[in-house]
A = this chain, B = another copy of it.
Amino acid sequence: MTEEHRSKCPIATSLDILGDRWTLVIVRDLFTGKSRFGDFLASPEGITTSVLADRLARLERFGLVTRTPYQERPLRHAYALTARGRGLKSMLQELCLWANAAFPETWVPPASFMAREG
């Protein structure tokens, strides 16, 4: 990548992109079919507009998300995962399995999200 990474460790490199409290929440929403700015704002975690705009731009810069207009005048964009972004699914599934085991009060994700092919 063009950006400077702390090391070539795959975990550290991943965290340079995904390592904050919000980015994977947005990726989760993209997996569940959300695509518009307002959709992400509506999630229960309560992301703010400034952080959301920043994270979407970063995900686009790193090639995990594409932004395409869904209407002109006023110009409005829809966000979607690229193949690179969709590749995070197995990792997110494992994270959910871990969280469900470690913190039993967490929600069990829908089977459609946890399915091997999907």
Which A positions have Cβ atoms within 8 angstroms of B? 1, 6-16, 19-22, 24-25, 28, 43-46, 63, 84, 87-88, 90-103, 105-109
Contacts and interface: CB of A to CB of B under 8 A. Distances in A.
B44 A7 contact: yes
Given A19-B24, A21-B19, A102 B84 contact: yes
A15 to B, nearest CB: 5
A100 B6 contact: no
B45 A99 contact: no
Contacts of A16: 21
Given A1-B103, A19-B19, A87-B101, A95 B24 contact: no
Given A21-B16, A25-B15, A87-B101, A9 B45 contact: yes
